[in-house]
Amino acid sequence: MTPQTFPKARADALVAQLDVDLNAPICYACLSIVSFALEEGTPPQITGATIRVTQDMWHEGLAEVALRAVRRARDQGVPDADAALVDLEERAGRSAIARAVVRRLAAELLRHTRAEMRLRALARDRLRLAPPELN
């Protein structure tokens, strides 16, 4: 399998097994562009947003995060990790794996944002019940 033919579904399946999370040193503003597309965009809009931001994110910290996670997966014997490492090393921010990492992190950001918004909505209705001196 060449890096150019690393299928999106296989990239997503591999990235689901990687040890990456939102605590990584990545650009949240860039990630939010993909997150917004995931929430309300069409598949072509999601793809476009992912392609647009992944290369910039690669140069701003995603490279270290993705390469470290894939190397760790390879060392643990995760299937396709060797091919994923080749994809990252040869294609960098244009690789299917880098884009899959961005989609995964954007989806995680979207889940966290939705949960935080629900929590704030629940708390807002209950604030009037608390005495002002406790707010």
DSSP track, the chain: --GGG--HHHHHHHHTTS---TTSS--HHHHHHHHHHHHH--HHHHHHHHHHHHHHHIIIIIHHHHHHHHHHHHHTT-TTHHHHHHHHHHHGGGSHHHHHHHHHHHHHHHHHHHHHHHHHHHHHHHHTTS-GGG-
**Mean pLDDT on 5-24:** 89
What's the pLDDT at 6?
Answer: 79
Q: Is the pLDDT of residue 115 over 80?
A: no
Q: How confident is the model at residue 2 (pLDDT cuts 50, 70, 90)?
A: very low
**Mean pLDDT on 117-123:** 74
What's the pLDDT at 75?
Answer: 96
Which residue's entry shows tokens 């910039």? Answer: 56
